[in-house]
Amino acid sequence: MNSIAAPSRARRFRELLANARPVVSPGVFDGYSARLVESMGFSTAATTGAGLANSLIGQPDIGLLSLRENVDACRHIARSVSIPIMADADTGYGNAVTVYHVVQYFEEAGVVGINMEDQLSPKRCGHMRGKELVSASEMTMKIEAAIKARKDPDFIINARTDAIAVEGIEGTQARVREYVAAGADMIYADAVRSEDDILRVLEAAGDVPVNINMGFGIRSRPTSPLLSLGRLREMGVARVSMPRLLSASAISGMQKALLVLRDCMQTGEAADRPDLLVGMDTISSLMDYDRISALENDLLSSEELRRKYRDGERHYVVSQAPKRD
């Protein structure tokens, strides 16, 4: 009897793009954030280049994160969840020949596609001033190289343009048309300034899906207006990425906890603040410690289990798996 292979994650992501518009992709930057997105019922997520640069190397998003650091982080994140993960490949780390290899590294890491932008290297965060662009022809060669390199035809090449800040909306539209003609699977115009910008990008992209970045407030996305998902759906946006949502909220939460700790240091008193902290049971559940308990029960001998757990307790496990006889 012939078995039917399960669709790849990239195919699942393409199906989402076709049927669940707009697809909402929160930005993730570590195992906690990726697992949270999946556990909260979101169907997909995306690594944030800025979030990785900020959290991994403690630097601003100005092209300092290396290809290897980026790919390694994406591999761990993609492996930690079952939902499709898109990745941020910055400028492709070089010319079209470099891009050819970059695509294969990211595809081997288990992500379902990459963003690749038309900034001149070293790039910078899309909402920073001072951006410079490569020529449209150089970017189209990179897109063509990316398509040639992928092994899974469903692997997404999301062509990002930062042209609005440099060449205006007319220049952006011209680039979008060229990137579509080169075979880009999705168009991502960053730092849009208005609804009109979005509509004109959609017009230039034609039938190719369009990705728009969005935040929860003007302060978190100082360049782009805050639009509802309903309005973006009406406009025809296929995917909404929210790269700063989780990293910004994590910083806010850590600030609040550290302020309490600083007060405790000054007063000498203890503070119990369950409103600021999740319990160990939540962390254990999120990181699936029960799976480790089950694996130990399945793979370790009875003698090993008795030696490890003399008191019969499995620490940091939500619910105890039955021991071997």
Residue 156 falls inside a structural domain: yes
In this prediction, residue 270 carries a pLDDT of 87
Q: Across the strands, what pairs with 26?
A: 242
In whole angstroms, what is the distance from residue 149 CA to residue 138 CA?
17
pLDDT for 222: 57
* pLDDT given at position 171: 97
Q: What is the pLDDT of residue 320?
A: 46
- d(C-alpha 11, C-alpha 287), whole Å: 26
Same domain, 129 and 195: yes
Q: Which regions of the chain are under pLDDT 70? A: 1-5, 126, 216-222, 311-325
**Residue burial 221-245, b: 16+ Cβ < 10 Å; e: rest:** bebbeebeeeebeebebbbbbbbbb
Distance separating alpha carbons of residues 103 and 79, to the nearest angstrom: 18
Q: End of a domain among 243, 268, 302?
A: 243
List the domain range (segments joined by +) for residue 297: 278-325
Say if 249 falls within a structural domain: no
Per-residue model confidence as pLDDT tens digits over 218-255: 554 457 888 999 999 999 999 999 999 999 999 999 99
Q: How far is CA 305 from the centre of its chain?
A: 39
Q: Is the whole model's pTM more than 0.85, yes or no?
A: yes
User: Per the domain annotation, does 230 fall within a domain?
Assistant: yes
Burial class (CB in 10 A: 0-12, 13-18, 19+), 154: middle
Q: Do 79 and 176 have their domain in common?
A: yes
Q: Please check whether residue 313 is in contact with residue 284, taking contact to mean a CB–CB distance below 8 angstroms.
A: no
Residues 200 and 138 in one domain: yes
Cα of 51 vs its chain's centroid, Å: 9
Does residue 84 fall inside a structural domain? yes
Do residue 157 and residue 33 come from a single domain? yes
Angle at 231 between CA 228 and CA 236, to 5 degrees: 125
User: Is the domain of 181 the same as that of 304?
Assistant: no
Which of the listed residues 243, 267, 302 is the one where a domain comes to its end?
A: 243
The predicted pLDDT at position 224 comes to 80
Question: What letter does residue 209 receive in the DSSP assignment?
Answer: -
The strand pairing partners of 86, in sequence order, are 46, 113
pLDDT, residue 61, reads: 87
Angle at 244 between CA 136 and CA 230, to 5 degrees: 85
Q: Specify whether the CB–CB gap between 98 and 92 falls below 8 A.
A: yes
Its sign, for the CA torsion 117, 118, 121, 124, is negative
Domain co-membership, 106 together with 217: yes
- H, E, C per residue of 215-281: CCCCCCCCCCCCCCHHHHHHHCCCEEEECCHHHHHHHHHHHHHHHHHHHHHHHCCCCCCCCCCCCHH
For residues 298 and 190, state if they share a domain: no
Q: Read off the pLDDT of residues 278-301 as tens digits, 9 standing for 90 and up.
A: 999 999 999 999 999 899 999 999
How many structural domains are present in the chain?
2
The three-state secondary structure class of 146 is helix
Residues 175 and 314 in one domain: no
292 and 229 in a single domain? The answer is: no
Residue 259, in any domain of the structure: no
Residue 112 sits in a domain of what CATH number?
Answer: 3.20.20.60
DSSP state of 133: B
What's the Cα-to-Cα distance from 281 to each of 286, 288, 289, 290, 304, rounded to whole Å?
A: 8, 10, 10, 11, 25
Q: Are residues 47 and 143 in the same domain?
A: yes
Q: Give the pLDDT score at 1.
A: 42
On whether residue 70 sits in a domain, the answer given is: yes
Note the pLDDT of residue 5. Answer: 59
Q: Which of 227, 243, 259 is the last residue of a domain?
A: 243
3-state secondary structure of 48: coil
pLDDT at 121: 87
Asked if residue 270 is part of any domain, the answer here is no
Whether 216 and 283 share a structural domain: no
Those residues whose C-beta lies under 8 Å from the C-beta of residue 157, and which sit 6 or more positions away, are 103, 113, 114, 116, 143, 146, 147, 150, 183, 184, 185, 186
Contacting residues for 186 by C-beta, under 8 A, at least 6 apart: 17, 113, 156, 157, 158, 159, 208, 209, 210, 211, 238, 239
Q: Say whether both 50 and 122 belong to one domain.
A: yes
In a domain, 4, yes or no: no
